Amino acid sequence: MLKNITIGQYIPGDTFIHRLDPRVKIILSIIFIISLFIITKFSGYVFISLFILGSIYISKIPLGYIFKGLKPILVILILTVGLNIFFTPGGMLLASIGPLKITSNGVRLALFMGLRLIFLIVGTSLLTLTTSPIALTDGIESLLNPFRRIGIPAHELAMMMTIALRFIPTLLEETDKIMKAQIARGADFESGNLMKRAKNLIPLLVPLFISAFRRADELAVAMEARCYRGGFNRTKLKQLKVSIIDYIAILVTSILVMILIWNRFWPW
């Protein structure tokens, strides 16, 4: 399960999507997330699917690697679909299981919520898989720079967010090592009820927290040794510039949003 989490991981490449300005990719990702809530018809998800599949193909990231990131949220996905199927009233009654009733509105809403959750995870994973942590930091900081006038520390916030994303794969790898070591010593993380499994996680969580604090302390010492003083008077080796490929990506995403808006309000 831990190996299936793709959030925070980066796959190097030299594709069209990899070369996009990180600021543009962050903004387009936000627009993509908002566009998911515009859809009110299943035909809208057809356009979203074509857009996502095209982006994955251009980025040359294996399709299986993208969708394996859905396995950790499988329980949440099943719970979301199940709750909407059994607890959404209205429409034609399709089936009845005791006090639970399955209606046409419930099935429709369950499919909508399930597809929305899937595209949300795939779209955000594509952002981190094609953007290096350094580029992501620069992009977030550049977008937050206008808020410095009201006292928001743009550089510090961007640095914290990127470090958090960067350390997700590291902590998952550490968790997997500790879990294998505990299993070799006789620990059982799979059998028993929910409460027993939660208690069995204590031998795993304690060394994991100790390792996380140790890594945080080592990172702080390394940053201080390099005279890190935040974003004050800090220069950049690479300046972010918007190029023609960024305008092409903005144009394609704008077309997608216009199609979704047209699809929502078109009477057919």
Q: Which residues contact 185 (CB under 8 A, 6 or more apart)?
A: none
Closest CA to 137 of 116, 162, 115, 154: 162
Instruction: Give me the tens of pLDDT residue by residue for the chain, a chain 268 residues long.
Output: 555 566 667 888 888 898 899 899 999 999 999 998 888 888 888 899 999 999 989 988 888 777 777 777 788 888 888 888 887 777 777 777 777 778 888 888 888 888 888 898 888 888 888 888 778 878 888 888 887 788 777 777 877 877 877 777 778 778 888 888 877 877 776 676 667 776 777 777 888 888 888 888 888 888 888 877 766 666 666 778 888 999 999 999 999 999 988 888 876 5
For CA atoms 215, 221, 223, 228, give the dihedral sign: positive
Closest CA to 44 of 106, 124, 115, 118: 115
Looking at residue 170, its pLDDT comes to 78
Looking at residue 121, its pLDDT comes to 86
Looking at residue 31, its pLDDT comes to 93
Looking at residue 234, its pLDDT comes to 67
Looking at residue 111, its pLDDT comes to 87
Q: Which residues contact 187 (CB under 8 A, 6 or more apart)?
A: 200, 203, 204
Looking at residue 109, its pLDDT comes to 85
Closest CA to 62 of 11, 9, 132: 11
Looking at residue 4, its pLDDT comes to 57
Looking at residue 2, its pLDDT comes to 52
Distance of alpha carbon 202 from alpha carbon 185, whole angstroms: 14
